[in-house]
Amino acid sequence: MLRARIVRGDLTVADSNDEHGALIEQLLQTNSRFADDFGLSLDPELATNRLVQAVTYALPSLAEELGKVRA
Tens-digit pLDDT profile for residues 29-70: 999 999 999 998 888 999 999 999 999 999 999 999 998 898
- Please give the Cα distance from 35 to 30 (Å, whole number): 9
The model carries a pTM of 0.74
* Buried/exposed 23-55: b ≥16 CB within 10 Å, e otherwise: ebeeebeeeeeebeeeebeeeeeeeeeeebeee
Tens-digit pLDDT profile for residues 23-34: 999 999 999 999
